[in-house]
Structure 1
Amino acid sequence: MKLRHTTANDVIATLELEPHVEGGFFRRTYQADHRDMLETTGGPRFLMTSIYYLLTADSPVGQFHFNQSDILHYFHLGDAIEYSLIHADGSLQTLVMGSDVLAGHQLQLHVPGGIWKASRLLNGENGFGLISEAVSPGFDFADMEMGSRQKLTAQYPQHRALIEKLTRDED
């Protein structure tokens, strides 16, 4: 039996993914609606939510964005994904999620709320990278801010080149 090569379009169709505002594709797979809602400063939130998130060769960047909630990322399959995290003190942390743990790839990645985060698909043979994210308190678009290139480069001028690469041009 010949094995079929899985494509990004196969994954998008099979998992019923939709385009995400930050880039890539997603689908919410879980929300803790069997539990009481949590009261947050932004309003009531689910205790936890989870999504599939896919970057592809055609949509290889998850642009800089800021979340209020903690996020746990879990690598599933495909090519490695590089994460760039800008902490409040301006320090930059770069990590790679992927299957090659001997090369230092992470299978899990915790990103605390309050950190600017971007991701990009690294070149590989698959043309896609698939992860899941578990978010607590549960994700709500009201708790997310997309990174403004102008604002981020003013705040973190030392990371200008990276910010320009991982944000949309506002003009």
Structure 2
Amino acid sequence: MPTPNHNHNHNHNHNATNNNNHPHPQTQTLPPQTPQNPLPYPLHPHPEGGYFHQTDRHPLTLPTPWPSPQGSSRSLSTTITYLLTPSSAVGVFHRNKGRTVHSLHRGRGRYVLLREDAPVNGDGDEDEDEDEVDGSGAKGGGRRSKGQGQATVETFVVGMDTQHGERMQWVVEGGVWKGCFWETRDIDSDDGEGFEGMLISETVVPGFEMEDHEFLSRTKMEEMLPEEQTQELQWMLRENHPEVPSF
């Protein structure tokens, strides 16, 4: 089963359901140009976990391509900087309606994607190609499996070590559930960067609006996945992270 590798210094993974670890909502903004935030602008707590700053909202607008209660148009694209840190190391499962292009700047992390509409081959069976894991054209470093539920689980590492399959750019299509977490680097593969966290940019096309966002519930996860996979991945549900702020 392709699930995150927990055999590293990720104590927060196994303690994610322990509310005593995070007794208060995480509301502190990270000031700029500090060890945690090397950027020239502050980063604000994100409702998915981690921190963010919107860096661009395209001035052009286009009709919203799906039913929208908030209006008929939106920006062509939006871009944010997103950061996971050792103290806020999990981006909980959620999905958006728009297509999101991710670009890594520093650090390392692992992504877990849940696809309800997994592609099948001409025989009606799931496509077993483990390399062709997203729309970015990237190869290697990813694994897929499909259990007794409806969804295919995919996991891959994002980092600078592209020779060993890590990715510096990846695409998540609209409607795909995604979660992520900071993953420490093995000592023997340390690149000497010394940055603890995962710093990326996300560009959403068409532009993001709050109405597009949905957190994954445990009930929905149980519908998509067999019990074993649900138990393995439920720690990445928002309900198990009371420390993250609300929208």
Report if TM-score (shorter chain) is over 0.5: yes
Instruction: Identify the match of residue 94 of structure 1 among 148, 155, 158.
Output: 155
Instruction: Identify the match of residue 134 of structure 1 among 203, 208, 228.
Output: 203
- In 2: Cα distance, 1:22 partner to 1:64 partner: 8
Conservation of the 8 A alpha-carbon contact between 2:215 and 2:238: no
- In 2: Cα distance, 1:85 partner to 1:150 partner: 17
- Give 1:95 deviation, angstroms: 1.5
Label 1:73 to 1:162 Cα distance change in 2 as closer, same or farther (>3 A). Answer: farther
Conservation of the 8 A alpha-carbon contact between 1:75 and 1:132: yes
Instruction: Identify the match of residue 116 of structure 1 among 169, 177, 181.
Output: 177
- In 1: Cα distance, 2:222 partner to 2:41 partner: 36
Matches for 1:49-60 after TM superposition, within 5 Å? 49-60=78-89
Per-residue CA distance 1:21-76 (angstroms, 9 max, x = gap): 0000001100111x133323224221100000000110111000011000000000
Does residue 21 in structure 1 map to residue 91 in structure 2? Answer: no
State percent identity of aligned pairs.
35
Give the TM-score of the pair, scaled to structure 2: 0.61
- In 2: Cα distance, 1:161 partner to 1:7 partner: 35
Give the TM-score of the pair, scaled to structure 1: 0.86
- In 2: Cα distance, 1:165 partner to 1:96 partner: 18
Find the residue that maps to 2:234 and give its secondary structure.
helix
Find the residue that maps to 1:86 and give its secondary structure.
strand
Does residue 46 in structure 1 map to residue 75 in structure 2? Answer: yes
Find the residue that maps to 1:123 and give its secondary structure.
coil
Indicate the residue corresponding to 1:148 in structure 2.
217
- In 2: Cα distance, 1:15 partner to 1:147 partner: 30
Unaligned runs of 5+ in 1: 1-5
- In 2: Cα distance, 1:77 partner to 1:122 partner: 12
Find the residue that maps to 2:64 and give its secondary structure.
strand
Per-residue CA distance 1:104-150 (angstroms, 9 max, x = gap): 11111000001000001001453211000010010111101011123
Conservation of the 8 A alpha-carbon contact between 1:56 and 1:121: yes
Higher mean alpha-carbon deviation, 124-133 vs 38-47, is at 38-47
Which residue identity does 1:26 align to in structure 2?
A: F
- In 2: Cα distance, 1:66 partner to 1:101 partner: 26
Indicate the residue corresponding to 2:23 in structure 1.
none
Indicate the residue corresponding to 1:167 in structure 2.
237
Unaligned runs of 5+ in 2: 1-33, 118-150, 186-193, 243-247
Find the residue that maps to 2:38 and give its secondary structure.
helix
- Give 1:154 deviation, angstroms: 3.2
Find the residue that maps to 1:7 and give its secondary structure.
coil
Instruction: Identify the match of residue 105 of structure 2 among 76, 82, 102.
Output: 76
RMSD: 1.9
- In 1: Cα distance, 2:115 partner to 2:175 partner: 8
Indicate the residue corresponding to 1:104 in structure 2.
165
Number of positions where the alignment pairs a residue of Structure 1 with one of Structure 2: 162
Higher relative contact order (Cα pairs below 8 Å, separated by 6+ residues): 2
